[in-house]
A and B are shown apart, each in its own frame.
Chain A
Amino acid sequence: MSSPSPSTQRDISQNDVVLAAESIRKVFPGTTALDRVNFNVYRGKVNVLVGENGAGKSTLMKILAGVELPTSGRLLMDGHEVTFRNTREASKAGVGIIYQELNLFPNLNIAENIFAGREITRIDVVDHGAQEKLARKILDRLEQPLSPRTLVSDLRMGQQQIVEIAKALSQNVRVLIMDEPTSALTAAETEALFQIIADLKAHGVAIVYISHKLEELLRIGDHITVLRDGKFAAEAPAADVDITWIIEKMVGRTVRTPSRAHGAVKHSGKELLKVHDLTLPREGKGFTLRRVSFSLYEGEILAIYGLMGAGRTELFECLMGLHAEATGEITLAGKVLRREPIFDRIASGITLVPEDRQRLGLVQQLSVAQNITLASLRHYLRSFWISDREEHDAVTRMIKELAIKVRSPQQPITSLSGGNQQKVVVAKSLLTRPKVLLLDEPTRGIDVGAKAEIFQIINRLANEGLGILFVSSELPEVLAIPDRVLVLSRGRVTGAFDHSEATEELLVRASSAHRQTDLLGVEETGIRDHLTPGMHN
């Protein structure tokens, strides 16, 4: 399917463009998040912004909403250049934003939330009456029979979203940015939201709509803009395109993840890691992990697939000993793990490359070299101090083995690109001489080339006999790399597939299953199910 070129597109509907981003560039230390991106927001239309993780969607969205300033490039509102130094300036110009994580005060009521920060006052005192009257008017327009005095904490997710929309409308919004608005909504709530979006369109409000759900985008989108690796990839009217086109533009080429020779090592190696009935209670009620059991063998790559909140990261945290309240049995290389602190778990051969590099993986103040050796300092001891030579040898070896691009091992870690920072975290883990390597979303936020390199490294390590467990929410990765795939949904294992039998459809179905019985028809109940009602919500 072909698309009209962006330039002709712009000529046709120039007058309808309410907000235009031209040649936007945004540079962060180590990465270029946006590289000369153009984006048109059309009046009274749903303008979809789509791209893979790390493609630059959220950065662009933040620039439009005044959260970030672009490094270069300009914004045009009705053809006039504008600068949004903060969200206040953006909302004054009529640009509103609704984040995926809603920004409401649960302890305040609807009216107070709508007017938070710009209260209607009479002689410097908040005029609650006037606020509530106005709030009611907006809620009526949205056809919501809610009292403005209802506490936000008493509202359902979908209703809270509507409060956010009401807040934007109260500021005479002309461009409304919605980031993954349906990710926490039920099907009925989603329908209601689409109704409201249609109504807003009819009133001339332009919507910028960001979502990962491609079917949804095609259903409500009017114009689709695809970003890839921080660059503008394509723009087209939604009517002219289909899902295949979107994916093609998002990915840029056909599946590029390297695959490996499967079946060679599977199950023939010895069992490295055995997890039996691992259960992690959730604060309050229910479970984050529920009787999770699986095994990992020498030289095996096992992927864990699941949606956000399925318990993937928590599973890794339990394996590292971060949750004292977890129950169940973890056996590592024949040894049952008790309540050891992380240090002992690492010493016995299990190590984690966390999902959030910046927050959990790196110490920003330390150099590249110091980050690489941080977890394995005891290996370079000469009596009780660190031997410079041995440390240096280890660092040079890792930099070479993982092809980390550095000018000098002493340079600050923050000056590296995302992919190279990730390699540093991997290097840190490898120097602890692990038997089992846990990788949590190892390719998040790194460019395509670095992704392929990371997978080459993973393949090599598995061939050397390591057991590798990796969490990913990207289907192509999960289908191409691992020997087996385990699917988690709401803290339960809802599927386990060999490489040969895993398909996109099976994985997606398993990842949205509520319990194993839904999928496999196996009855699986525990005593605690009866003791703790309502845990499956």
Chain B
Amino acid sequence: MTTALSPSAESASVSRLTIGVFLFRLRAFIALLILMGIFTLLTRSFFTTENLIILVGQTAINAIMAVGMTFVILTGGIDLSVGSTVGLAAMVSGLLIDRGLELPMFGIVVYFNVPAIIVLVLCLGILVGAFNGLLVTRFNVAPFIATLGTLYVARGLAQLSNGGATFPNLVGNPGLGNTGFPILGAGTILGIPIVIWIMILFTALGWFVAGKTPFGRQVYAVGGNERAAELSGIYVQRIKMAVYMICGMCAAMTGLVTASQLVAAHPATGESYELNAIAAVVLGGTSLAGGRGTIWGTLIGALVIGVLTNGLVLLGVQEFWKKVITGLVIILAVVLDQLQARLQQRLALKRG
């Protein structure tokens, strides 16, 4: 031993580091609890059933997208097009309810019922994702640029779909059999809004797929070391394709929910949502470099943003300050992420 530490002191410092790393891992969760504690103390209306349901409902919109985004970021990619996909999905669901699907060659208009519309719109999301995936895998476009392009394309298509106008009053027509769309956004099961159930479903599915299936493991491997993954017989391109498709589907789900909540589809729906989704993923401890992160972390990240937004509103903090504070929290999260990496390396060194 050339170091001055005695063996016992060294092992003590190792265990101190271990605890440090452990607490660091839980930092998003700890931050969530602290924030909730602060807002509960400062406002009377924060910790009430009504407000918490509103809060989680607001969070759900972001969390559903963020689950898909987590998969993309785990492979080391990024998807900037989700916000536009939300808008496009909302507009297409509005179009299908309001106008139906025109088939000029047959001279007919097909109206779908609501479940069919949901399936169609989700497929549309998958298609947008497939487009992104194709650009990234086949044409070797950097994910940032490919999805930036799609951001514009999808938003433009959303605006084109009704000449820039809103599809209002999406209650459907009993004669056409397409009523019931607003239930998605406003309905409840067991007293809990359907939106929250959807969030729970997507998060649970995401957790299962990421943590328990070969596909999930391969997503981590591709993000961690693409070349090694390839040599291990992983179809790297297929995995990448799939994560963008998952992400597109999650964005489409968010679009459906948003349009349903408003009972209207506006072409600007979901503008800048991609940033909220990325923020949730990063706050949840997922590394933008890929290979490290969890779906639970993302859910907690989305909740942190939700609590922050909700609590600051209740406190009457000005909108502009809200942005400053949210931004600082995100920066803090990334700084802590770097610290964790350093801490873990030190731990590995001491044990080595």
Do A and B assemble together? yes
| A residues whose Cβ falls under 8 Å from a Cβ of B | 23, 25, 27-31, 36, 72, 320, 341-343, 345-347, 352, 354, 359-366, 370, 374-375, 377-378, 381, 384-386, 412, 414-415, 417, 428, 432
B352 and A417: CB pair below 8 A? yes
Is B349 a contact partner of A27 (Cβ separation < 8 A)? yes
A415 adjacent to B214 (CB under 8 Å):
no
Q: Bound complex: CA of A432 vs CA of B3, how far in Å?
A: 43
Pick the contact of A366: B224, B233, B234 (CB < 8 A). B224
**B210: shortest Cβ distance to chain A, in Å?**
11
Is A414's CB under 8 angstroms from B348's CB? Answer: yes
Binding site for A on B (CB under 8 A): 2-3, 208, 212-214, 217-218, 220-221, 223-225, 227-235, 287, 291-292, 344-345, 348-349, 351-352
Residue of B nearest to A374 (CB): B232
Residues in A neighbouring B212, C-beta threshold 8 A:
385-386
- Please give, as numbers and ranges, the residues of chain A lying within 8 Å of B220 by CB-CB distance: 363, 365-366, 370
Indicate which residue in A30, A377, A432 contacts B352 across the interface (CB closer than 8 Å).
A30
Docked CA distance A320–B234 (Å): 13
Contacts of B214 in A (CB 8 A): 377-378, 381, 386
Are A366 and B221 in contact, with the CB atoms below 8 A? yes
Question: Which one of A23, A36, A364 contacts B224 once the chains associate, using CB atoms below 8 Å?
Answer: A364
**What is the CA–CA distance of A31 and B227 in the complex, to the nearest angstrom?**
23
- Bound CA–CA A284/B348 (angstroms): 44
Give the secondary structure class of B's interface. Answer: helix
The closest CB in chain A to the CB of B345 belongs to A29
- Nearest B residue to A385 via CB reads B212
Q: Which residue of B lies closest to A425 (CB)?
A: B228
8 Å CB contact of B291 from A347, A365, A378:
A365
Q: A366-B221, A414-B348 are in contact. Are A25 and B228 (CB under 8 A)?
A: no
A365–B292 CB distance below 8 A: yes
Q: Evaluate contact between A359 and B228: CB separation under 8 angstroms.
A: yes
B233 touches A29 (CB 8 A): no
**A351: nearest chain-B partner, CB-CB:** B233
Contact B232 A428 (CB under 8 A): yes
What CA separation (Å) do A29 and B225 show in the bound complex? 18
- A361 contacts which chain B residues (CB < 8 A)? 228, 231
Contact A364 B225 (CB under 8 A): yes
B213 proximity list for chain A (CB < 8 A) = 384-386
Q: Is there contact, CB below 8 Å, between A365 and B223?
A: yes
> Are A415 and B348 in contact, with the CB atoms below 8 A?
yes
Give Cα A72 to B228, complex, Å: 33
Chain B CB within 10 Å, residue with most, of A28, A370, A381, A385? A385
> In whole angstroms, what is the CA distance A359 to B229 when docked?
10
Complex contacts, B231 vs chain A, CB 8 Å: 320, 342, 352, 354, 360-361
Question: Could you tell me the distance between the alpha carbons of A31 and B229 in the complex, rounded to whole angstroms?
Answer: 24
Residues of A within 8 A of B234 (CB): 343, 374-375
Point out the residue from B2, B3, B208, B291 that lies within 8 Å of A363, measured CB to CB: B291
Q: How far is the CA of A363 from the CA of B225 in the complex (A)?
A: 5
A12 to chain B, nearest CB (A): 27
Question: Among B2, B223, B228, B235, which residue has the most Cβ atoms of chain A within 10 A?
Answer: B228
Residue from A320, A342, A377 whose CB has the most chain B CB atoms within 10 Å: A377
Give, as a whole number of angstroms, the nearest-CB distance from A373 to chain B: 8
- Cβ contacts A to B, 8 pairs, < 8 Å: A30-B348, A320-B231, A342-B233, A343-B235, A346-B233, A347-B233, A352-B231, A366-B224
List of 5 A-B pairs having minimum Cβ-Cβ separation, nearest first: A365-B291, A363-B224, A377-B214, A375-B232, A365-B224
Shortest CB distance A157–B (Å): 29
Residues of B within 8 A of A366 (CB): 220-221, 224, 291
Check A341–B292 contact: CB distance below 8 A: no
- Residue of A72, A343, A417 touching B2 (CB-CB under 8 A): A72
Give A360 to B224 CA distance when docked, in angstroms.
11
Q: B235 to chain A: which residues have CB within 8 Å?
A: 341, 343
Which residues of B sit under 8 angstroms from A378, Cβ to Cβ?
214
Whether B228 and A360, one on each chain, are in contact in the complex, defined by CB atoms closer than 8 angstroms, is yes
In the complex, what distance in Å separates the CA atom of A448 from the CA atom of B227? 28
Verify B217–A374 contact, CB threshold 8 A: yes
Neighbouring A residues of B351 by C-beta, 8 Å: 415
Once the chains are docked, how many angstroms separate the CA of A320 from the CA of B224? 21
A362 lies within 8 A of B2 (CB): no
User: Judging by beta carbons under 8 Å apart, are B228 and A385 in contact?
Assistant: no
A362-B225, A366-B220, A432-B233 are known contacts; what are 8 more A-B pairs with Cβ within 8 Å? A25-B2, A27-B349, A29-B352, A345-B233, A347-B233, A352-B231, A370-B221, A374-B221
Centre residue among A345, A386, A417 by max chain B CB count within 10 A: A386
Q: Complex: how many Å from CA A398 to CA B247? A: 36
- Contacts A30-B348, A363-B221, A417-B352; A72 near B229 (Cβ below 8 A): no
**Would A385 and B208 count as touching, CB distance under 8 A?**
yes
Docked CA distance A72–B4 (Å): 11
